[in-house]
Amino acid sequence: MQTIQVVVGSKRRPKVEALREGLDLFAAALDARAQFEVVAEEIAGGVRDTPLSREEMMEGARRRAEALVTRAREQRKSWRYFVGLEGGVDVMTEGERRLVFLQNWAYVTDSAGCGFYGQSGGILLPKALARSVVDEGIDLATAIDAFANGSGIRDAEGAWGVLTRNHITRQESYRVAIINAFAPFFNVEMYEKK
């Protein structure tokens, strides 16, 4: 049986496990005769620690995936799919009201250079947390620890878990983004329909 390696640009547990869970769901649709292996590689996204727009999150996810492609070429790795993940906030206005949504984005490209984005959806940040992140420039990982009187929340349930009482965790939100980004690969007939 052939082994297909899928590399993700992070060693953080919620991101790696999100990819594993996603692959458990759709790997057979990618290739029913193969087994899939997740490889975790730490790689920078080239954006600020907490991106403050959808565009910046998308850019960070894409840059991570593209940096993995470069690393694969340089190190002669046989990775087939390259997954870049980026979380942050999307700052919007509705009339006079500012809305700040926590989002996660994925960008997946294959060894042939075909790539797609996926998004997690979003959850509104409480005003006090939004002020810390957007106005004071505090990284979300630090801000959520202070906001929730916790420590290491980013590597556990994440801000998603804190805000949804663990109905949706950081890992789950990344899993959704990953599935969405892989959809054009595992559901080709729908995406190539004319």
Give every residue of the chain whose pLDDT is below 70, as ranges: none
pLDDT at 146: 97
List the domain boundaries for the chain. 2-191
Query: Tens of pLDDT along 112-168?
Result: 999 999 999 999 999 999 999 999 999 999 999 999 999 999 999 999 999 999 999
pLDDT at 45: 87
| Cβ(106)–Cβ(157) below 8 Å | no
pLDDT at 193: 80
pLDDT at 180: 98
Q: CATH classification of 2-191 is 3.40.50.300, yes or no?
A: no
Nearest to 59 by CA among 105, 19, 120: 105
CA distance 4 to 25: 15
pLDDT at 101: 98
pLDDT at 77: 96
Q: 30-56 burial string, b = 16+ CB within 10 Å, else e?
A: beeeeebebbbbebebebeebbbebeb
pLDDT at 89: 98
CA distance 115 to 2: 23
pLDDT at 1: 80
